[in-house]
Structure 1
């Protein structure tokens, strides 16, 4: 099984790397600039690739000819909560977060779609319940919410467009996870989130194409 993961040098991405290596998969772990803990993982099935998904530049490294699972995990939060308030958020911040969190996964799929089609594989796009209008009762966080909401729509279009080729696309909410992005606050740890999302991925074809699903298997209202 060939697995490609973006944003794989820390947090959820690194958790996915460790999970699929334990499942005896061959893993291509992509990172923007610093390999981080990936450099200390000693496995012949791990391949590291420098790839900034926020750029139109191609990855600096080889990727497999066939991909069974592509996980678009790379993302940024942008300015802190105060910097994303109604009075303070800037157009620059909005565009920077949208570029990485929404356009980034699209860039990745545009480049790798034929390789996923070759395996009739699965694409999992990591969004967030923060992008759900139904779940938004606190306002604020304009850049991150908008980018993650946009990714749900992009993911759905991917699902429709790739379904005739045997590729199944699903959108995932990881939960509120203790990572660097959340300053290690949260309700669950990385291992719990990754285990849950991996179970959903394994069962992806039992969900409608493009469905927005949380780590616990429940559909997220959009």
Structure 2
């Protein structure tokens, strides 16, 4: 299987790279500028692509002729020191996060979907923080809004790509111990990736565009 993963140099992205390499697949790992942990995984099945999904420029490197699984993992949290409160959030902060977390996956799919054959899968990594039904604490305006918007964008992708046999789902990774959460999560990267990979493997058991957590539970939106 040919797997392409964005935001693959650390955290969940790097976890996905390790998972699919260990399973014997060919992996195209995308990074913005720093290869990070990818330098420790050099092997013939790993292909590196330098790609800043925050802009419209193409990736640097050779894309696969076809992609069986696309994981849109690249994302940012934005300001975590009061810059996402009602008093502190700015339009620039909102747009920065929205550009990466919502428009970024759309850019990637626009460029790559014609390389995806019938039976392939797109997994867009969102967050339960983008769920209106789950929001009881408020705040975090930029990140919540961008991840909520990604759920809607992902649903439209699912509808538009269904005639071509491409199945799209949206995933919630859980509260994971990563740099983004300052290692304060409830589960580790291995647990999250194993769960999401299981959901991906059974993606067609879920309705196109559905929002699904790493443990297989549907996330209320």
**If the TM-score is normalised by the length of the shorter chain, which range does it land in?**
over 0.9
Structure 2 CA distance for aligned equivalents of residues 3 and 83 of structure 1: 35
| Structure 1: runs of 5 or more not aligned | none
Structure 2 CA distance for aligned equivalents of residues 221 and 75 of structure 1: 22
Q: In structure 1, the residue corresponding to 2:123 is in which secondary structure?
A: strand
Shift of 1:81: 4.8
Structure 1 CA distance for aligned equivalents of residues 65 and 141 of structure 2: 38
Correspondence for 1:14: 14
**Cα deviation digits, residues 15-39 of structure 1 (max 9, x gap):** 0000000110000000000001101
Give the length in aligned residue pairs.
221
Give the 5 Å matches for 1:78-157. Answer: 78-116=78-116, 118-157=117-156
Q: In structure 1, the residue corresponding to 2:168 is in which secondary structure?
A: strand
- 1:218 and 2:217 equivalent? yes
Alpha-carbon RMSD across the aligned residues, in angstroms, is 0.7
Structure 2 CA distance for aligned equivalents of residues 53 and 217 of structure 1: 28
Structure 2 CA distance for aligned equivalents of residues 168 and 161 of structure 1: 10
Correspondence for 2:45: 45
Structure 2 CA distance for aligned equivalents of residues 119 and 206 of structure 1: 16
Shift of 1:42: 2.6
Q: In structure 1, the residue corresponding to 2:82 is in which secondary structure?
A: helix
Shift of 1:43: 1.3
Structure 1 CA distance for aligned equivalents of residues 96 and 207 of structure 2: 31
Shift of 1:13: 0.1
TM-score normalized by structure 2?
0.99
Contact 1:68 1:120 in 2 (8 A): yes
Give the 5 Å matches for 1:157-172. Answer: 157-172=156-171
Contact 1:81 1:141 in 2 (8 A): no
Contact 2:118 2:164 in 1 (8 A): no
Structure 2 CA distance for aligned equivalents of residues 34 and 216 of structure 1: 31
Return structure 1 stretches of 4+ with deviation > 4 angstroms: none
Give the 5 Å matches for 1:182-193. Answer: 182-193=181-192
